[in-house]
Amino acid sequence: MSILISQNTKVLVQGMTGKEGAKGAKAMSDYGTSVLCGVTPGKGGQEVDGKPVYNSVGEAMTVFPDINTSVIYVPPFAAKAAILEAIENNISLINVFVERIPIADTAYCLAAAKEKGIRILGPSSLGCVVPGVARLGVMGGPQVQEIFTPGSIGVISRSGGMSNELSWQLTKQGLGQSTTVHVGGDLLMGTTYADLLRLFEADEQTKAVMIYGEHGGSYEFEIVDLIQNKEYTKPLAIYIGGKFVSAFPEGMNIGHAGAIVERGKGAAEKEAALHSVGVRIAQRYEDLVTLVQ
Amino acid sequence: MNLYEFEGKQLFITHGIVTPCSVVVRRGDDVTTAYASLGVVDVVVKAQVLSGKRGKNNGIRFCATLEEVQSAVDDLFSLQIRDQYVAAVLIEEKLQIAREHYLSITYNTTTKQPMVVYSTKGGMDIEEVEENEIRKTNIEILNPSVPVDIPYVQELWKCFFSEDARVVEINPLIQTADGRFIAADAKVALDDDAFYRHPQWEQYEPRTMLGRLPTEREIEAKKIDEGEAYYRGTAGKYIELDGDIAMILNGGGASIANMDALIQAGLSPANYTEYSGNPPREKVYQLAKVVLSKPGIKGLWMCGNVANFTNVKETFLGIIDALDEIKPTYPIVVRRDGPESAEGFALLEECAQRNHLNIKMFKKDVGMSETAGVLAQMIQS
C-alpha cells in the first residue's frame, strides 16, 4: 500500500505548457504515473509530450472525468486562480509546486479547499513518490530509480532536497520507502506532519516514519498531541534543522519562509516536547536512518 | 521585510488609525527645526530599529527641552539597540496615557488563517500577560468577520489584508485620558512574496536585522532576484557573517542543516547563501561573484543535496564562469548530485585543471556533512 497516491492516480497538470510544467509531466509519465492532460488558459488545442492541453480545468474534466489529482506549475501571481479552479472542479488532491505564493493567497486557497474536504499538498511542494508505483511532480529527478526503492519507512520532509537525500540514505541501507512526501517549506502548509502521520498509521506497509523538520511554526507540536492521543503509535524519528539560526535575531527569515525564528518555537523547544512523548531526536540528519530502525 | 516604526505608522495613517504627531530625524538632520515643527514641549524620542524591546534597552527617551532632545538624538545615533543599527530617530508628542492596550494580527499556523490578538493589558511586558487576559479571534479569510468591540481592529484588518502584511502589531495601543485611541507604536512585517502587487515597496530603504547597515555584497545579491524573472529560481540570498569559509549551498532545507554541519566541523562561515529552484546560469554567476568577492576567504564549500529539478550542469556553468574569473587558490570542496550532474562535474573538472584549483568533488555516495570535514582537513594541511 501507500499514502496519497496509487496506481489509480489520474493526473492533470495545470501549467503544462511552461518549462517546469512540461518537465513535471514528463517526470511523472516516465515513472509510470498516469498523466491524462494539461491545462493552460489560452493554449487549449496544443499538446505537450503527446498529452492534450485544455483552456480550463472544467473542459479537461469533461473529456477526462477520471482526473483525481492536479499538479500545479504556474507563476506565483497566477497560483490562486489555478488552485481555486481545481477546487471548484472537486479534484480531491492538489499538489502545488509553485513557490513564493503570497501568504494571503495561500490562506485563502487552504480555507476554500478545507470547505470541500480537498487536500492540498504544498505550496512549494515537489510532490511525493511511492517507489515502483507512482510519483507526483519531479521528486527524485532523473535519478528517481536509483534513489527510491520500495520499503517500510515513511519519509516526510519540509525540504525538497532533503526528501531525496533521506530517501537515498534509506535505499543505501537497504530499507527503502513506503512513501516519501515533500510538504513544502512555506509558513502555511496545506498538508501537515500530523495529517501524514495519521495516513502512515493506517498504512500497513509503513513500519516507521522519519521527518526532516525546520524551526518556525507550530507543526511539530501537533505531533506531540497526536502521539498523546494514541492516533500515531509507530516509531518516529525527527531532525529539526536550523540550530545555527538561533544566533540570528527574532523574525529574521532565512532558508524557507516557514523557518521564521519564533520565540519559544525554536529547534530546542520542539525537540524537548517531542522527546517527552518518545520521538527519537536526530542531532545530525544522517542519524535519522539509524534512529528509525 | 520588516518596517521601521515610522514606516508602519505611515501605513496605519493610510488606513485610518490615529498615531501621535511626529517627525523623523536622520543622521545630520537639523534637530532644532524638527522639534519646533511639532509645536509641543513634551516629546518622546525613539530609536528606529527593526527589533522589539526598545523601551527596556534604553532606546526611548522622554524630553522637555531642545537641549534634551538634541542630546537624546545624538546619543541614540551613537548606540546599537539590542545589536540593531539605529536607522533614524522619531520625535513624537508625548501622550496623556490612561490605559495601554495590545492589538495584533498575524497568521496562526494551526488554523492557517489570520488571528487577532487583543489584550487590555498592553505595554512593555506583553509577554508576561496571563493567557486568560489575552483574547484571540480567528478570522476566516474567505468570509472575514472582524470583532466589532475592539478599537481599531477593522482598520488594522484592512491594513493587514490590503497591504499584504504577515504581521501588524500595535503595542501599546494608547487610550488617552479623554478616551481617544492612538497607536503609539507600529510593528509591521510585509510579505516579500507579494511585492509584485505593491510596486510602492521599492521606495523602502535597504535594511538588515544583523545590527548594521546591509553590506554592499548583501545589497548586490538581493538585486539578483529582482525584476521580471524573480520567481525563476532563488539566487539572491546572501547574509554576510564573520567567518572565513565562503558558502554556496543549495536548498532552503539542506542549506540550514549544512550551516550547522560546517560549524560542527570546526569551521566558520563567511556568509549564508543558497540557490535553489533551478535558477538560470546568469543568476548563479552573479551570486558566486558576490560570495567570492569577500576578502580573507580561506576555503569554499559548495554543498548541495541530490537535486530534484535544479539542473546541475546549468547552475555549475554559472559557478564556473565566476571561478574562471577569480581563480581562487584556497581549498574548494564540492558535493552535489542531480539532473545532468555528470556533465556538470566534467565541466567543473576542466575548469579546475585550466585554473589549477585545489578542489575535491563528491557526488551522492558521500554524505553532505562529511564533506565539511574534508574541507577542514584540506585547510589544515
Q: Which pLDDT belongs to residue B242?
A: 92
Q: Which pLDDT belongs to residue B253?
A: 80
Residue A146, beta-bridge partner list: none
Query: What residue type is assigned to position B98 of the chain?
Result: A
Q: Which pLDDT belongs to residue B129?
A: 81
Between chains, do A126 and B308 touch, taking CB under 8 Å as contact?
yes
Mean of the pLDDT values across residues A119-133?
Answer: 97
Whether pLDDT at A179 is above 60? yes
Contact indicator for B279, B315 with CB cutoff of 8 Å: yes
Q: How far is B31 from chain A (nearest CA, A)?
A: 31
Q: Who contacts B141 (Cβ-Cβ below 8 Å, separation ≥6)?
A: A104, A107, A108, A111, B113, B114, B161
Q: Predicted confidence band at B21 (pLDDT cuts at 50, 70, 90)?
A: very high
Task: Output the nine-digit C-alpha cell for B235.
Answer: 539566487
Task: Output the nine-digit C-alpha cell for A191.
Answer: 498538508
Q: State pTM to two decimals.
A: 0.92
More confident residue, B134 or B357: B357
Q: How far is A201 from chain B (nearest CA, A)?
A: 21
Length of chain A: 293
Structure confidence by residue, pLDDT tens digits, B310-329: 999 999 999 999 999 999 99
Q: Predicted confidence band at A1 (pLDDT cuts at 50, 70, 90)?
A: confident
Mean of the pLDDT values across residues B178-188?
Answer: 95
Q: Name the residue among B2, B109, B231 with its Cβ closest to that of A218.
A: B109
Contact indicator for A258, A185 with CB cutoff of 8 Å: yes
Mean of the pLDDT values across residues B39-60?
Answer: 90
Spatial distance between the Cα atoms of B108 and A103, rounded to a whole number of angstroms: 12
Give Cα separations from A173 to A168, A259, A289, A290 (angstroms).
9, 30, 8, 9
Question: What does A205-271 look like in DSSP terms, one character per residue?
Answer: T--EEEEEEESSSSHHHHHHHHHHTTS--S-EEEEEE-TGGGGSPTT-B-SSTT-B--TT-SHHHHH
Whether pLDDT at A251 is above 60? no
Whether pLDDT at A261 is above 50? no
| Contact status of B222 with chain A (Cβ, < 8 Å) | no
Closest residue in A to B189 (Cα–Cα)? A251
Mean of the pLDDT values across residues B20-31?
Answer: 97
Task: Output the nine-digit C-alpha cell for B204.
Answer: 523602502
Whether pLDDT at A32 is above 60? yes
Mean per-residue pLDDT over chain B, rounded: 93
Spatial distance between the Cα atoms of B102 and B171, rounded to a whole number of angstroms: 5
ipTM: 0.91
Q: Which pLDDT belongs to residue A243?
A: 62
CB contacts, 8 Å: A123 with chain B: none
Q: Predicted confidence band at A204 (pLDDT cuts at 50, 70, 90)?
A: very high
Query: What residue type is assigned to position A65 of the chain?
Result: P
Most A CBs within 10 A among B306, B310, B313, B335, hence the mutation to make, goes to: B306
Spatial distance between the Cα atoms of B150 and A273, rounded to a whole number of angstroms: 35
Q: Which pLDDT belongs to residue A178?
A: 98
Q: Point out the least confidently predicted range of B161-175, B217-231, B301-315.
A: B217-231
Closest residue in A to B229 (Cα–Cα)? A75
Residues 88 through 147 of chain A touching chain B, CB cutoff 8 Å: 99-104, 106-108, 110-112, 115, 126, 138-143, 147
Most B CBs within 10 A among A136, A163, A165, hence the mutation to make, goes to: A165
Query: What residue type is assigned to position B291 of the chain?
Result: V
Q: Who contacts A172 (Cβ-Cβ below 8 Å, separation ≥6)?
A: none
Q: Which pLDDT belongs to residue A95?
A: 98
B145, burial (CB in 10 Å: exposed 0-12, middle 13-18, buried 19+): exposed
Structure confidence by residue, pLDDT tens digits, A37-55: 999 999 999 999 999 999 9
Mean of the pLDDT values across residues A168-189?
Answer: 95
Spatial distance between the Cα atoms of A273 and A141, rounded to a whole number of angstroms: 35
Mean per-residue pLDDT over chain A, rounded: 91
Mean of the pLDDT values across residues A165-182?
Answer: 96
Q: Which pLDDT belongs to residue B27?
A: 95
Q: Point out the least confidently predicted range of A75-84, A99-108, B64-73, B200-209.
A: B200-209
Contact indicator for B52, B187 with CB cutoff of 8 Å: yes
Structure confidence by residue, pLDDT tens digits, B82-129: 778 899 999 999 999 999 999 999 998 889 999 999 999 998 777 778
Q: Which residues of A123-142 are buried (b: 16+ CB within 10 A; e: fewer)?
A: bbbbbbbbbebbbbbbbbbb
Q: What is the percentage of chain B residues whose pLDDT exceeds 90?
A: 82
- B261 alpha carbon, distance to own chain's centre: 23
> Which of the residues of A are catalytic?
256
Spatial distance between the Cα atoms of B289 and B281, rounded to a whole number of angstroms: 12
Taking Cα atoms as reference points, which of A137, A104, A108, A103 lies closest to residue A12?
Answer: A137
Q: Predicted confidence band at B227 (pLDDT cuts at 50, 70, 90)?
A: confident
Q: HEC states along A51-119?
A: EEEECCHHHHHHHCCCCCEEEECCCHHHHHHHHHHHHHCCCCEEEECCCCCCHHHHHHHHHHHHHCCCE
| Contact status of B50 with chain A (Cβ, < 8 Å) | yes
Q: Which pLDDT belongs to residue A255?
A: 46
Q: Predicted confidence band at A6 (pLDDT cuts at 50, 70, 90)?
A: very high
Closest residue in B to A241 (Cα–Cα)? B257
Q: Point out the least confidently predicted range of A64-78, B47-61, B359-373.
A: B47-61
Structure confidence by residue, pLDDT tens digits, A67-98: 999 999 999 999 999 999 999 999 999 999 99
Contact indicator for B308, A141 with CB cutoff of 8 Å: yes
Q: Which residues of B114-123 are buried (b: 16+ CB within 10 A; e: fewer)?
A: bbbbbbebbb
Taking Cα atoms as reference points, which of B273, B342, B267 lies closest to residue B311?
Answer: B342
| Contact status of A276 with chain B (Cβ, < 8 Å) | no
Output the CA angle B250-A131-A240, nearest 5 degrees: 40
Spatial distance between the Cα atoms of B277 and B237, rounded to a whole number of angstroms: 13
Whether pLDDT at A257 is above 50? no
